[in-house]
Amino acid sequence: MSSSHSNDLSVADERSFTSLANILGILGFIPSLVVYLVFKDRSAFLKRNTGSALNFQITMIIAEVVGYILSVAFIGIFIVIAAWVLRFVFSILAFVHTKDGEEYVYPVTINFIK
């Protein structure tokens, strides 16, 4: 049996799909999840970077849920706003790095997906 690499993504495609998953992370975790699930077996670069994006988005969802729960104590509003700002800023930074083929590891992230 010979292994076929016909399913591998081109460098341009892996950068495009990875950077797209990162920038659309501004909208939530679904874009990162879809790109990860569809292409993770076709590119190691894409798998690492969209997995990192997905971990970050899940972490931000947890922060937002905690923030909403704590909003009865008013501090939660700041947590929710901080999560939105972090999602926006780090999604853009990840886009800028991955579109050029650079690895990007999101800070303040719980690693759910290895």
The pLDDT, as a whole number, for residue 3 is 44
Residue 67: the pLDDT is 97
Of 76, 93, 4, nearest in space to 41 by CA: 4
Q: State how far the Cα of 19 lies from the Cα of 91, in Å rounded to an integer.
A: 9
Domain ranges of the chain: 11-96
CA–CA distance, 104 with 20 (Å, rounded to integer) = 13
pLDDT of residue 4: 45
How confident is the model at residue 27, as a pLDDT? Answer: 94
Q: Which residues of the chain have pLDDT under 50?
A: 1-4
